Amino acid sequence: MAVKEDDLPCPWTAEYWIYRPPAKESLKMHLRNVALLLPKYSVSFAAEVCVKEQVMNVVRALNSSAAANDASAAADAGKLSKEQRAQRARELTAQRMELVNALTALVPQ
């Protein structure tokens, strides 16, 4: 009696079971494929780490500038006129927008 593909209760073919590579060969193939793909993964991982570090630098700059701006605004509140405070607020907003734009530029489109 010959075994046909339709006689097997699994999705794999009879040829797979008859001609399948031994476990040791299969492991070697898998390790070879991993070794081939490893440089691609390491490059993408390094790029991801670099972008994450740049984002964290911008976030640190935003946080430190916010604290410094709040402290200087509190110190200057009584010394500056209304127009000078408005000008200072515009300058601080422009600086913060530069940081936000730098952060946006780091995000892939």
The predicted-structure confidence for 8-50, as pLDDT tens digits, reads as follows 556 566 666 666 667 788 788 888 888 888 888 777 788 888 8
Q: Is residue 93 part of a domain?
A: yes
Asked if the structure places residue 1 within a domain, the reply is no
Note whether residue 6 is domain-resident: no
Number of structural domains the chain divides into: 1
Question: Which candidate, 17, 107, 98, 16, places its Cα nearest to that of 61?
Answer: 98
Domain that holds residue 87: 12-106
Q: Tokens for 77, please give them.
A: 């509140």
Q: Residue 9's pLDDT is what?
A: 59
Question: d(Cα 70, Cα 58) in Å, to the nearest integer?
Answer: 18
What's the full length of the chain, in residues?
109
Structure tokens of 72?
């200087």
